């Protein structure tokens, strides 16, 4: 999407009320470049102190806000005015004009993927100079029963019928009947081992509708066949070719709002609908609230094809199904099917179901995804920075995920961004750490470096990020970091020899047949071990060596990620001995490497705990 120049709601700024707080830099001429910079940051800090979550504040002249088509009427004309980010399509700031005494400054407080339970924490965006930011947040139509019924009637494609192979499993011939009942007329007989095509089922899955020769269909007891796949994915039908509607309008889900439901004694699944877009990622959780229900949750795409099935787990007496970061392949209305776990048998009970967009992967919140452009090398004095955007994440809040010019940016830090079409997006990490990902390649960004991503004429990433390079600290000395929420010191540039690039790998080896295990706790709390060998960060444990003292795999275990993928922050490692398996105490060696550099290596016996930071 190309950024467009817009001139909307440009007004004069009334500085009355702030004059007492604004003083000229000592020894500088009023209206000169150094004074304009100092006064603009002072004015913004005072006028915007009351800006709330997901709001933009008019800091210093001059700004232009383009409203969204469906935005409520707002005023954004003078210093201190605020507007909800949901109402803004784009925001443009003016470059420095010493004659007019102008230098555009705006402040935004962005939620990004911060939880709703931390309303006082926000990501700070400070824009200054010749910059423009345009929202790229995607949204599906409001999910209401009326909207769902209309969309289903007008736009939703007819689901493709699902068929599964079924094998007759019996010691004698079995009857195929005209109705899903033993009172139905026998229309055909199948011998044991015959493979047939299942095209539907009754609501309780007790009878299977199968294809017969000549385009006819019949019914066979589910107890007499083995289905190659999940019976619940077959359409519920009466045998006439008419499928039962997948869900009533009242079964439409809204993101983040839990619903209560129940599975009856026949194990009849309950189907819900959820609107989403290609590239969205879902978090789904079903918790049993009553009865003896052993649940499963299945997700079907808009065409009715199964995507995945979540199985139940039990912890502290709580039975639940949880799916996190499920990537969706296309736009449309997905089916979320709650039911009884087939492998367990029929069970019934009540549950609470919640479906939401994964905030770290879906970029659905205001200004969590945007296109950004800035002037380059346009500072008019040593005290003025080049135009750009400062982003600061709140202390102790973990990782923040943004989509900038179609580049996935992950921050636990303070960064300075500059961007030009048909040039590059430059991400300067002036404090903390970050990561940039585009074209399926990711690059870790340590403090003291800059990473550049090539952009096309529409400001979209046109290639993967380059390797981090030391930045020029003198060029960053005038950045207006005083306007940020938290005080920082701009990091010294790293020497090239200090910049570690490449894959992160964790290796545990030991010297006998003992059952040793490596556990990893990621910065977000995810635990990788033999019982949970992977996470949404891409971490993957390769094997459970010598499990239950059955010797295999050569006395080692490894955890690896795709390049650049580990979470930012402190990673905790536990070495644990499940059993010595009669071999006596093992001596082990734990090694962590980044590229070709060993960042941690320890040798010992028994259990131990270590950590490293990425």
- For residue 178, the domain's CATH number is 2.30.30.40
| Average pLDDT over every residue of 313-329 | 88
Answer whether residue 441 shows pLDDT above 50.
yes
| 121 within a domain of the structure (yes/no) | yes
Domain count, the chain: 4
Contact status, residue 152 vs residue 144, Cβ threshold 8 Å: no
Distance between CA 176 and CA 190 in Å, rounded?
Answer: 7
- Of 438, 464, 497, which one is at a domain's C-terminal end? 497
Residue 479 per-residue DSSP state = -
| Average pLDDT over every residue of 65-86 | 92
Same domain, yes or no: 508 and 591: yes
| 71 within a domain of the structure (yes/no) | yes
Is 0.85 surpassed by the pTM of this model?
A: no
Handedness of CA 552, 558, 563, 565 (dihedral sign): positive
- 561-596 pLDDT tens trace: 776 667 777 889 999 998 999 999 999 999 998 877
- Of 357, 381, 399, which one is at a domain's C-terminal end? 357
Same domain, yes or no: 126 and 65: yes
Same domain, yes or no: 387 and 311: no
Instruction: Supply the CATH number for residue 253's domain.
Output: 2.60.120.380
Pairing status of strand 369-374 against strand 400-404:
parallel
Same domain, yes or no: 321 and 378: no
Rg over CA atoms, the chain: 30
| 256 within a domain of the structure (yes/no) | yes
| Predicted pLDDT of residue 195 | 93
Contact status, residue 208 vs residue 222, Cβ threshold 8 Å: yes
Over the chain, what is the mean pLDDT? 85
Instruction: Supply the CATH number for residue 465's domain.
Output: 2.60.120.1440
Encode 287-317: b = buried (16+ Cβ within 10 Å), e = exposed: bbeeeebbbbbbbbbbebebbebbebeeeee
Q: Where are the alpha helices (DSSP H) in 419-505?
A: 473-476
Same domain, yes or no: 328 and 262: yes
CA-based nearest residue to 86, from 365, 280, 358: 365
| Cα–chain center distance at 510 | 37
Distance between CA 549 and CA 51 in Å, rounded?
Answer: 60
User: For the chain, what percent of residues have pLDDT higher than 70?
Assistant: 88
| Average pLDDT over every residue of 436-445 | 88
- Of 357, 390, 414, which one is at a domain's C-terminal end? 357
Same domain, yes or no: 489 and 371: yes
Q: Which helix (H) or strand (E) holds 201?
A: strand 195-201
Which band of pLDDT confidence, cut at 50, 70 and 90, is reported for residue 144? Answer: very low
Same domain, yes or no: 325 and 390: no
Could you give the C-alpha distances from 463 to 17, 438, 456, 460, in angstroms and in order? 48, 7, 9, 9
| Predicted pLDDT of residue 233 | 80
Question: Which domain covers residue 206, as residue numbers?
Answer: 164-233
Which band of pLDDT confidence, cut at 50, 70 and 90, is reported for residue 345? Answer: confident
Encode 26-57: b = buried (16+ Cβ within 10 Å), e = exposed: eeeeeebbbbbbbbbbbbbbbbbeebebbbbb
Contact status, residue 590 vs residue 572, Cβ threshold 8 Å: no
Encode 571-584: b = buried (16+ Cβ within 10 Å), e = exposed: bebbbbbeeebebe
| 14 within a domain of the structure (yes/no) | no
| 538 within a domain of the structure (yes/no) | yes
| 397 within a domain of the structure (yes/no) | yes
Instruction: Supply the CATH number for residue 547's domain.
Output: 2.60.120
| 239 within a domain of the structure (yes/no) | no
């Amino acid at each position: 999407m190309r950024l467009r120049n817009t001139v909307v709601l440009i007004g004069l700024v009334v500085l009355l009320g702030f004059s007492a707080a604004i003083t000229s830099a000592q020894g500088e001429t009023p209206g000169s470049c150094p004074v304009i910079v100092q006064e603009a940051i002072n004015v913004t800090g005072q006028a915007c102190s009351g800006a709330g979550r997901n709001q933009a504040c008019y800091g210093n002249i001059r700004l232009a806000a383009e409203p969204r088509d469906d935005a409520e009427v707002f005023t954004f004309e003078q210093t201190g005015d605020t507007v909800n980010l949901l109402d803004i399509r784009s925001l443009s700031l003016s470059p420095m004009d010493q004659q007019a005494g102008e230098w555009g400054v705006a402040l935004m407080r962005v939620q990004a993927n911060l939880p709703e339970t931390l309303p006082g924490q926000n990501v700070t965006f400070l824009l200054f100079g010749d910059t423009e930011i345009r929202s790229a947040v995607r949204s599906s139509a409001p999910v209401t029963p009326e909207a769902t019924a209309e969309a289903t009637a007008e736009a939703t494609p007819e689901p493709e019928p699902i068929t599964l192979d079924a094998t007759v499993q019996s010691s004698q011939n079995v009857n195929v009947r005209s109705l899903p009942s033993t009172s139905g007329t026998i229309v055909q007989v199948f011998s044991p081992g015959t493979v047939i095509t299942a095209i539907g089922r009754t609501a309780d899955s007790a009878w299977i509708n199968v294809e017969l020769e000549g385009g006819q269909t019949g019914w066979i007891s589910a107890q007499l066949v083995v289905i190659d796949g999940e019976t619940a994915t077959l359409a519920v039908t009466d045998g006439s070719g008419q499928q039962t509607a997948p869900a009533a309008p009242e079964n439409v889900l809204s993101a983040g709002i839990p619903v209560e439901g129940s599975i009856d004694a026949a194990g009849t699944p309950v189907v819900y609908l959820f609107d989403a877009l290609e590239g969205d990622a879902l978090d789904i959780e079903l918790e049993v609230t009553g009865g003896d229900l052993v649940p499963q949750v299945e997700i079907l795409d808009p065409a009715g094809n199964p995507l995945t099935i979540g199985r139940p787990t039990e912890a502290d007496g709580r039975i639940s199904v949880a799916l996190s970061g499920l990537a969706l392949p296309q736009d449309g209305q997905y089916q979320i099917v709650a039911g009884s776990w087939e492998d367990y048998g029929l069970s019934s009970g009540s549950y609470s179901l919640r479906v939401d967009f994964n905030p770290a992967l879906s970029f659905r919140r205001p200004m969590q995804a945007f296109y950004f452009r800035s002037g380059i090398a346009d500072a008019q004095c040593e005290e003025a920075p080049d135009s750009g955007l400062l982003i600061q994440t709140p202390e102790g809040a973990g990782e923040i995920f943004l989509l900038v010019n179609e580049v996935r940016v992950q921050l636990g830090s303070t960064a300075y961004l500059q961007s030009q079409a048909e040039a590059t997006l430059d991400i300067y990490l002036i404090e903390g750490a970050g990561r940039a990902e585009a074209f399926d390649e990711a690059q870790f960004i340590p403090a003291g470096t800059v990473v550049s991503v090539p952009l096309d004429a529409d400001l979209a990433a046109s290639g993967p990020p380059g390797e981090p390079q030391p930045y020029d600290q003198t060029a960053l000395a005038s950045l207006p970091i005083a306007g940020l929420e938290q005080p920082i010191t701009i990091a010294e540039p790293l020497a090239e020899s200090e910049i570690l690039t490449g894959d992160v790998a964790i290796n545990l080896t030991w010297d006998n047949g003992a059952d040793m295990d490596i556990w990893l706790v990621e910065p977000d709390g995810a635990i990788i071990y033999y019982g949970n060998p992977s996470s949404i960060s891409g971490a993957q444990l390769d094997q459970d060596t010598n499990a239950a003292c059955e010797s295999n795999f050569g006395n080692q275990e490894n955890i690896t990620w795709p390049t650049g993928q580990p979470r930012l922050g402190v990673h905790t490692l536990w070495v644990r001995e499940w059993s010595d398996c009669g071999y006596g105490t093992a001596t082990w060696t734990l090694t962590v490497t980044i590229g070709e550099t060993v960042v941690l290596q320890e040798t010992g016996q028994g259990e131990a705990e270590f950590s490293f930071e990425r």
